Amino acid sequence: MRGIHDEGSERIPSGCAISSIFSKSGKPINGERIIHSMAPMHDRSNGLGGGFAGYGIYPQHKDDYAFHVFYDHSKAQNACESFLKERFCFAASEQIPTRKLSAITQEPISMRYFLRPLYRRMEDLQLDESEYVARCVLHINAQIDGAYVFSSGKNMGVFKAVGFPEDVGRYYRLEEYEGYCWTAHGRYPTNTPGWWGGAHPFALLDTTVVHNGEISSYDANRRTIEMFGYACTLKTDTEAITYIIDYLTRKCGLTLSETAGVIAAPFWSTITAMPEPARSQAAYLRHAFSSLLITGPFSIIVGFTGGLMALNDRLKLRSMVVGEKGDMVYIASEECAIRAIEPEPDRIWSPAGGQPVIITLDKSCQGGDHHGL
């Protein structure tokens, strides 16, 4: 089995599929629906990676951090569990439920833990809760050989593997889960081989990213984000995107719209033509975070507690469409993925390059000041 940190040793041609379903009223959506949405885009991936993220899927543990962890071997599991027991209180620990499928092979040890930080230790380090948990995740992924925390948020979880997304969904028995939001990815690697850790979504805390494209600014983005305490150990551009979004929103306090204005910043010619105060704000973001501008073709869907953000590169070099039906919102690489689960949407449209689509739960479901559909 390819090791967790062996990404980046060969080149394979590219293409990917992304999809998402969101209920603004918080209505539970069975995981089977997101699997069905990926089926029409089967040929956009090649079996080297598929994955899903679900939000609202662990109501019985909604106040616990749900860590999903891959291990290459039992030595890594023992080391990781010892590390966690020194820093967290365990509410539950178990193997992630799966079913045997001939299409899914070379499975690592897959565990999930429902955890609460040991607050005395957290206070001794003078860290807030999210920073404490994030540092623990980054330490495991960088320092414990053969261990990889691939999901670490509250009341949400990532499920990914080497395989076509339809098989990955069945492997993880997603029909047994319900959540108000699902995202999905079918991988066709661009520069890196297929392995379990390299499948999407990538995640840190409750932020998840699925991504179609290739980031030409990866080295500059990686060097910058690593200056702020992140360790890009997986050698994939999507990992860097995930950390950039976490840094801008959680550490810098930027809104999602402002974050989009950094990673898919307008051209200077566009900025100079803007009216005030938009011109000054856009110019500030470009100057202040210039090395976090993501260049190259991409479409991404960012999941977070209570919402989604979809974003294309500023030239819209990758396809992405949005569908709406009542309180439901669908986003996918192709319209066929939306119509597979909603044959008669009220509206289908394509976002402009660099313009974020931000969707959040209704205020009756969750407080907050996000703006969206």
Q: Given 3-state DSSP classes, what are the helix, strand and coil percentages for the chain, each rounded to the nearest 5?
A: 30, 25, 40
Compute φ and ψ for 73, nearest 5 degrees: -160, 165
d(CA 245, CA 134): 13
Residue type, 357: V
Query: Does residue 326 come out as left (phi exceeding 0), alpha (psi in the -120 to 50 range) or beta?
Result: left
Q: Do 6 and 195 meet the contact criterion of CB atoms below 8 Å apart?
A: yes
Give the sheet arrangement for strand 50-55, strand by strand. Answer: 156-161, 50-55, 181-186, 17-23, 328-332, 321-325, 347-349
Residue where the block lists tokens 């995640």: 203
Distances, alpha carbon 145 to alpha carbons 26, 72, 94, 190, 226, in Å? 39, 9, 21, 25, 19
Q: Do 294 and 264 meet the contact criterion of CB atoms below 8 Å apart?
A: yes
DSSP β-bridge partners for residue 51? 160, 185
For 75, the token pair is 């030595």
Q: Does the annotation count 16 as an active-site position?
A: yes
Helix (H, G, I), strand (E, B) or coil at 251: helix
Cα within 13 Å of Cα(320), Cβ side: 32
Catalytic member of 16, 80, 181, 232 = 16
For 59, the token pair is 């109501």
d(CA 23, CA 206): 17
Q: Do 202 and 301 meet the contact criterion of CB atoms below 8 Å apart?
A: no
Catalytic residues: 16
